[in-house]
């Protein structure tokens, strides 16, 4: 599938691809970027329909979106996916493991809505409220979603300000793509495929996250053979903003371990 995604690349070193969450764009990583570019060549992707990739529509097929990103980023990179970006990273790792070196999965989950055997997620009704809101005042809907992301965080006010400043800084998102992104979150369930992933992985969860609770992160790490798990206790859904130093330290240690060959293939949830 042809892809024309907007990507900003900075820094030198091992390739690191950053995938943002729903409704935002690659600029959301601005706070974290200065901690990364001295060590890595960082490619910040604007996902389809978002930011400066808004002319490339997002479809409601997760595999298609993953293929768009795979066609646009360097091969053999580590992929850092946050929230929806993490779901896309998981799909790409399942479909093209030879093209991805490792995964860092931040505040994400293989299944975003609750089910009889999956209580640690959003209620379907909650997600539907956002889908319905897009049909009216989509700006207000996005702002409400941002507020939910920081609830409980010890740095909630500062994090919310950063998210709001980033939201429309690259123009208006495509509302049809926003709806497609919510549909991806509603229908995707990768839990039963995760055991086939055989690459190094780090799962980072926020202790106060109400969208992807830490229990979901623990379950995700258990499903990926050899995955590492870390929880940033006082953060919510955007730990790379509210606790950038701690987040970057975990990421950098993981990346350095890749270069040193220190990642043993064993369960490592801690």
Q: Residues 6 or more apart from 248 whose CB is under 8 A from it?
A: 32, 35, 36, 240
d(CA 270, CA 268): 6
Write out pLDDT tens, residues 108-166: 999 999 999 999 999 999 999 999 999 889 999 999 999 999 999 999 999 999 999 99
Q: Distance between CA atoms of 96 and 252, rounded to whole angstroms?
A: 24
pLDDT of residue 225: 93
Q: Is 95 a catalytic residue?
A: no
Taking alpha carbons only, the member of 217, 193, 144, 185 closest to residue 21 is 185
Would the pLDDT of 262 be above 90?
no
Spell out the residues 6+ positions from residue 4 whose beta carbon is closer than 8 angstroms to its own: 53, 55, 56, 72
CB 156 within 8 A of CB 249: no
- Answer yes or no: is pLDDT of 270 > 50: no
**Does 270 qualify as catalytic in the annotation?**
no
The H-assigned helical ranges of the chain are 33-36, 62-70, 84-95, 124-134, 138-150, 156-167, 175-187, 214-223, 239-242, 244-260
Residue 83 annotated to the active site: yes
Residue tagged active-site, from 53, 174, 209, 235: 209
Of the residues 83, 107, 177, 188, only one is catalytic, namely 83
Confidence of residue 266 (pLDDT cuts 50, 70, 90): very low
Task: Scan for tokens 């998210």, then name that residue.
Answer: 163
Q: Note the pTM of the prediction, 2 decimals.
A: 0.94
Here the tokens at position 156 are 């909630």
Q: Is 60 exceeded by the pLDDT of residue 265?
A: no
What Cα–Cα distance (Å) separates residue 65 from each residue in 14, 130, 153, 176, 229? Answer: 24, 21, 30, 14, 26
158 C-beta neighbours (distance < 10 Å), count: 14
The stretch 25-41 carries a mean pLDDT of 97
pLDDT band at 4 (very low <50, low <70, confident <90, very high): confident
- Active-site pick, 237, 242, 250, 263: 237
């Amino acid at each position: 599938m042809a892809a024309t995604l907007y990507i900003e690349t900075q820094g030198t070193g091992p390739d690191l691809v950053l995938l943002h969450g729903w409704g935002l764009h690659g600029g959301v990583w601005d706070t974290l970027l200065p901690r990364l570019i001295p060590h890595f060549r960082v490619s910040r992707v604007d996902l389809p329909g978002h930011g400066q990739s808004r002319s490339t529509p997002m479809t409601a097929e997760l595999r298609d979106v993953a293929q768009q990103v795979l066609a646009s980023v360097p091969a053999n990179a580590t992929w850092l996916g946050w929230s929806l970006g993490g779901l896309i990273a998981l799909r790409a790792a399942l479909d093209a493991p030879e093209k991805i070196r490792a995964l860092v999965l931040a505040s994400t989950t293989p299944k975003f809505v609750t089910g009889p055997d999956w209580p640690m997620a959003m209620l379907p009704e909650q997600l539907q409220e956002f889908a319905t809101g897009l049909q009216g005042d989509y700006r207000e809907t996005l702002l409400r979603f941002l507020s939910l992301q920081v609830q409980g965080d010890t740095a909630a006010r500062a994090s919310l300000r950063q998210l709001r400043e980033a939201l429309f800084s690259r123009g208006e998102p495509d509302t049809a793509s926003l709806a497609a992104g919510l549909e991806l979150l509603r229908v995707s369930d990768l839990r039963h495929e995760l055991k086939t992933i055989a690459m190094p992985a780090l799962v980072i969860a926020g202790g106060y996250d109400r969208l992807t609770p830490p229990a979901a992160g623990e379950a995700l790490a258990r499903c990926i053979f050899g995955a590492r798990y870390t929880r940033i206790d006082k953060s919510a859904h955007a730990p790379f903003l509210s606790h950038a130093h701690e987040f970057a330290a975990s990421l950098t240690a993981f990346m350095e371990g890749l270069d040193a060959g220190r990642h043993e293939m064993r369960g490592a949830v801690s």
